[in-house]
Amino acid sequence: MLPKEYEVKGKNFIVSASARGIGKGIVEVLASSGANVLATAITSTYLEKFSEEMDRRGFSIETIVADATSPKDWEKTINYALKKWDKIDGLVNNLGDFIKKPLISNDNGIDTLMSDEEWKYILDLNLTQAFLGCRAISSQFLKQQKGKIINISGVAARKGVPNALAYSVSKAGLVQLTQTLALEWAQYNINVNCIAPGSFPDPSFSNNIQVQEYTKNASMQIPLKRVGSLSEVGYLALYLLSDASNYITGETVYIDGGLSQTHLYIDGGLNKD
């Protein structure tokens, strides 16, 4: 039996952009561990299916359609959670997306360049959303004098991804956002940490050919010779949201099978809402 510090039963968490992918994996682990979870997504397309799936498994979750890049939607999300629970113990900022384009034309004849709109789009989805989430939850955590925040970054925070400038910059920005807020909010007993996943394809949204490609690439590029399981990020999030991690703040934990320690980068299984 685990020490009580590892338990999250009865605690209340918000996980943004969690209808599929890494966010879904985090919600599944938290809910199956007895936590109350509010899952958000920008549309109801996958959110309703996920909620029904969890109900069938006996783990009910709360859901709300909310855009994590919208301050008004963050206000709506926080208010909804407080109305349900009166208290929020943790927040996971999970939204992310990826555009693979070079900044300028290269010798291979690629002439599709990243536009101003695409640059802003990726920074908003990967970085600004976390800033907004942290700001939205801050007043409640200050009132409680306690809270846990996890920002979901990626391997690109440690090693740049060619032809993915906005993605790499935004993921690195999440690390600095985490470190800075951890220092600013430590006096209020608020822990801010970051998880940087490697390749975690969602089996529900990958066809057989994609799965085979991910597996092939992993066997050649990832030291542990496999892609990750979504639940593995969930278990790490569970620890960082539990009292067992109360003395950890400002840290970025890379969960990538050793990929970030190599000179390689595996393309596939990126986190999306």
Q: Please report the pLDDT score of residue 272 as a whole number.
A: 42
Structural domain total, the chain: 1
Where in the sequence numbering do the catalytic residues fall?
167
247-262 confidence digits (pLDDT tens): 999 999 999 999 888 8
Q: Is residue 129 assigned to a domain?
A: yes
Q: Please report the pLDDT score of residue 215 as a whole number.
A: 77
Report, as an integer, the average pLDDT of 217-241.
92
DSSP 262: S
Q: Is residue 269 assigned to a domain?
A: no
Residue with tokens 């690439």: 217
Q: Is residue 267 assigned to a domain?
A: no
CATH number of the domain enclosing 249 = 3.40.50.720
Q: Is the per-residue pLDDT at 25 higher than 70?
A: yes
Kindly report which listed range (10-24, 73-87, 197-211) carries the lowest average pLDDT score. Answer: 197-211
Q: Is residue 215 assigned to a domain?
A: yes
User: Backbone phi, then psi, for 124, in 5-degree steps?
Assistant: -65, -45
Q: Please report the pLDDT score of residue 218 as a whole number.
A: 79
Tell me which of 228 and 111 has the higher pLDDT: 228
User: Backbone phi, then psi, for 53, in 5-degree steps?
Assistant: -60, -45
Domain range enclosing 92: 4-261
199-225 confidence digits (pLDDT tens): 888 877 667 777 778 778 777 889 999
Report, as an integer, the average pLDDT of 71-87.
98
Task: Provide the pLDDT confidence category of residue 269 given band limits of 50, 70 and 90.
Answer: very low
Q: Is residue 15 assigned to a domain?
A: yes
Please report, rounded to a whole number, the percentage of residues in the chain having pLDDT higher than 90.
74
Would you state the torsion angle of the CA atoms of residues 168, 273, 197, 159, taken in this order, to the nearest 10 degrees? Answer: -10
Q: Is residue 251 assigned to a domain?
A: yes
Indicate the residue type of 273.
D
Tell me which of 264 and 68 has the higher pLDDT: 68
Q: Please report the pLDDT score of residue 203 as a whole number.
A: 77
Q: Is residue 84 assigned to a domain?
A: yes
96-140 confidence digits (pLDDT tens): 998 888 888 766 655 568 889 999 999 999 999 999 999 999 999
Q: Is residue 268 assigned to a domain?
A: no
**Burial per residue of 58-83, b for 16 or more beta-carbon CB atoms within 10 angstroms, e otherwise:** ebebbbbbbbbbeeebbebbbebbee
Any residues with CB less than 8 A from the CB of 113 and at least 6 apart, and which? 101, 102, 103, 104, 105
Q: What is the DSSP string of 24-54?
A: HHHHHHHHHTT-EEEEEESSSTTHHHHHHHH
Tell me which of 87 and 106 has the higher pLDDT: 87
Indicate the residue type of 45.
T
Q: Please report the pLDDT score of residue 206 as a whole number.
A: 64
Report, as an integer, the average pLDDT of 73-99.
96
Measured CA to CA, the distance from residue 243 to residue 261 in angstroms comes to: 29
Residue with tokens 């639940």: 231
